[in-house]
Amino acid sequence: MRLRIFLSLLFLITLSFGADATIEVVKKVDTLPTIGVEDSSISYDATFKKRFFKALISDLNVLSLFNVDRHNYITHYNNTEVVAEDKDKDYVLRYKLYEDDNQALNIDMKIIKNSNDVMKKSYRIKNKKLYVFVSHAMAYDINNFMGAEPVDWIKKKILLSRLVAPGQSEILICDYTLAFSQKIVTGGLNVFPKWANKEQTAFYYTSLSGKKPSLKKVDIKTAKVSNILSSDGMIVCSDVSLDGKKLLVTMAPSGQPDIYMYNVDTRKTRRLTTYSGIDVNGQFLKDNKIVFVSNRLGYPNIFSKVIGQKGVEQLVYYGKSNSSCSAHNQYIVYKSRESSDNFSDNTFNLHLISTETDFIRRLTATGMNEFPRFSQDGDAILFIKNYMQQSSIGVIRLKYNKNYLFPLSYGKIQSIDW
């Protein structure tokens, strides 16, 4: 009887821990179902077909639901049998690329299991340069078919600031794998882009090209650029409320930076922190709170406060240089320095904490990992990784304990948002 009670308590404790994202979840790769990918394309050259196949393999891996066979098998779309190498696989994804009379890219796809078509869907896009977003849409639909939790973020666009020369940067719109990119802002030093709404129809960025740092807004549909705010010292929009009506902005009109809230409708600012040192990188939390980075302890660390109240609360007790963060509900991911070497590059890792538990989970292991950003649903974390002279976008799947990297072809990533 006592043993039964003990096992029941242990089971309940395990369930409680398993529901918390700060507890590391390790899934053995061997237990995942296998999937092969078969190409039945009848249009386009070998280079384009290879790009699409590569994008699809990448998306299937990031879903973290399969052991993905990376071989590019060719077969006819209507063949009743899968290729010999796929006979023992749990699933086969077969697709066909073809161009119609209007030069639009069409894609038919199906999932085969035990010689039966268990899922079918078709896609069409006018501009084949956007092919990678079709791959993302296919992965999104396959994820839903498998009954996994939604991955809306996989179809979202990424804002990226890229340093290309001293005092020169570009702001680009990309997909999360960087297979697609389009320059939106060029000329001068333009940094810290931030989406203005969840529909991703506009964004803010900091321009350092004028007499004063200024916050600008770009309407993507009309290409209209509006001046929002300017301030001596610095100005950065670090977060936008879910309804897009309030911004958290770091400004330093009197020398030291503080966090302000900007009301989009009234165009008025409200000062939220009044510390004599450095307060930066404000993020909205639930319950009328913000989280931010401050040097109140003599080094950068993560704090929170209720908007309108004076008191602040220290949230992080691990790390001596915790200089950036991102928040989603009760979770906070932050950057922490983990080495202090004067003669080589130091290691900066990302850690995850919850405001409701004492657990800390380290999310990265090597290099300089910074600028973390939660997806809107909190399912994944996007971040910048600089390692061995290579600048990459990283994606962390929290529930699957997996990291994926997508390198930038040239330049250095300065900041990101999605």
Residue-wise pLDDT for 323-346, tens only, equals 899 989 889 999 998 877 766 678
3 has pLDDT over 50: no
- pLDDT cut 90: percent of the chain above it: 77
Between these two residues, 318 and 202, which has the higher pLDDT value?
202
Residue 24: Cβ within 10 Å count: 12
Residue 19: Cβ within 10 Å count: 8
Q: Mind listing the pLDDT tens digit for each residue in 76-122?
A: 999 999 999 999 999 999 999 999 999 999 999 999 999 999 999 99
Residue showing tokens 């649903």: 377
Smallest Cα–Cα separation from 311: which of 285, 282, 284, 273?
273
Q: What pLDDT, on the 0 to 100 scale, is given for residue 6?
A: 42
Between these two residues, 174 and 2, which has the higher pLDDT value?
174
Smallest Cα–Cα separation from 279: which of 296, 263, 255, 297?
296
As to burial, measured by CB atoms within 10 angstroms (0-12 exposed, 13-18 middle, 19+ buried), residue 394 is buried
Question: Per-residue pLDDT averaged across 206-223, rounded?
Answer: 93
- Mean pLDDT, the chain, whole residue set: 90
Q: Mind listing the pLDDT tens digit for each residue in 111-159?
A: 999 999 999 999 999 999 999 999 999 999 999 999 999 999 999 999 9
Residue 116: Cβ within 10 Å count: 8
Burial per residue of 320-343, b for 16 or more beta-carbon CB atoms within 10 angstroms, e otherwise: eebbbbbbbebbbbbbbbbeeeee
Q: What pLDDT, on the 0 to 100 scale, is given for residue 14?
A: 40
Q: Mind listing the pLDDT tens digit for each residue in 236-281?
A: 999 999 999 999 999 998 889 999 999 999 999 999 999 999 999 9
Q: What pLDDT, on the 0 to 100 scale, is given for residue 18?
A: 47
Question: Per-residue pLDDT averaged across 295-318, rounded?
Answer: 93
Question: Per-residue pLDDT averaged across 159-164, rounded?
Answer: 94
Give the CA-trace dihedral at 183, 189, 192, 197, to 10 degrees. Answer: -50
Q: Mind listing the pLDDT tens digit for each residue in 350-409?
A: 999 988 888 889 999 888 999 999 998 888 999 999 988 889 999 999 988 899 999 998
- DSSP element (H, E) containing 178: none
Q: What pLDDT, on the 0 to 100 scale, is given for residue 25?
A: 54
Q: 9: pLDDT confidence band, cut at 50, 70 and 90?
A: very low
Burial per residue of 232-265, b for 16 or more beta-carbon CB atoms within 10 angstroms, e otherwise: eebbbbbbbeeeeebbbbbbbbeeebbbbbbebe
Q: What pLDDT, on the 0 to 100 scale, is given for residue 24?
A: 58
What is the spatial distance between Cα 316 and Cα 67, in angstroms, rounded to a whole number? 37
Q: Mind listing the pLDDT tens digit for each residue in 21-71?
A: 766 555 555 589 999 999 999 999 999 999 999 999 999 999 999 999 999
